[in-house]
Structure 1
């Protein structure tokens, strides 16, 4: 049975994330979420410097790219994106899929960024691709999720990090946490 207090839904991306274990519950060891991803959904190419992401398929099929290799995971199969490895995940199977993602070590910023991003989408405060309309909020969410852009796109990171700092100075971070972070 799903604990609805720990389940978030994104009406733009049409996916659900259930927080199974948070940083607080694992003493910072790991974050564990279960994702039900609609066909056509996913997250584009990125990487993290401070944590790994392990993808474990439960139902359906999920594609995971690690570096230049694309893997089609079926139930019971997994893939590991180590720190500094470009990766993405997506569903192109024609039906929903379900998988778990484990971050090691845990990332409280990742946990908060999902809750806030999905909350903004539910409140109609994102564009049709699911990105926050408020550019300072977008930059701050990018920053706290510890995401990084690969290749030539990395030139935008300096601007995003600077805008994230501006968001903090204006108190946007505190406002978003207060409104959307439930656990």
Structure 2
């Protein structure tokens, strides 16, 4: 996604604006601004193998949950926390006001591409209640592209399922259809 471009989930009001794209720095990092509406739950507890994520609050508050015990931290404007590689984390906006934050991934990961797909599918009416794609194959592609892994599910099983879903999406034409969401 190019610098300055914004994508939006019209159903939830969540949006993402690219501030620094991986094309700007040879893949060293991505930096994007996220607008989380009030009372917006986050993703399930997960971890990444390929990149660390630093969350910095600009406005509002962000509820961060780290590690297996889901240690809670409430971040205020100007505060940051980094979820290191392999560190379990999730976040939410439990407040009555929007949260505006930046997220930096080092090195650049697939999170922005995954959300381009998720927001596009949602805007086309294909989202489940949790905001992710309702179609199971597209949901698996979202998770695979985001490079997120769930605790409690064997890592090799997850890698295998993501690889199979990518293959099925490719041979059935689903992968090609998802490319339209990545055009920007």
TM-score scaled to structure 1, two decimals? Answer: 0.89
* Greater CA drift, 74-83 or 167-176: 167-176
Please give the alpha-carbon distance, in whole angstroms, between the structure 2 residues aligned to 1:30 and 1:10.
Answer: 24
Equivalent position of 1:169 in the other structure: 171
Contact 2:47 2:87 (8 Å CA) reproduced: yes
Please give the alpha-carbon distance, in whole angstroms, between the structure 1 residues aligned to 2:117 and 2:73.
Answer: 29
**1:127 counterpart SS class:** coil
> Structure 2 vs 1, CA of residues 102 and 163 (structure 1 numbering), >3 Å: closer, same or farther?
same
Question: Unmatched 5+ residue regions in structure 1?
Answer: none
Contact 1:22 1:111 (8 Å CA) reproduced: no
* Greater CA drift, 166-175 or 4-13: 4-13
Superposition deviation, residue 5 in structure 1: 6.6
Please give the alpha-carbon distance, in whole angstroms, between the structure 2 residues aligned to 1:54 and 1:4.
Answer: 19
Residues 1:123 and 2:134 aligned together? no
> Structure 2 vs 1, CA of residues 103 and 4 (structure 1 numbering), >3 Å: closer, same or farther?
closer
The root-mean-square deviation of aligned C-alpha atoms, in Å, is 2.1
Written as runs of structure 1 = structure 2, the 5 A alignment for 1:3-82 is 6-41=5-40, 42-67=42-67, 68=69, 69-82=71-84
TM-score scaled to structure 2, two decimals? Answer: 0.88
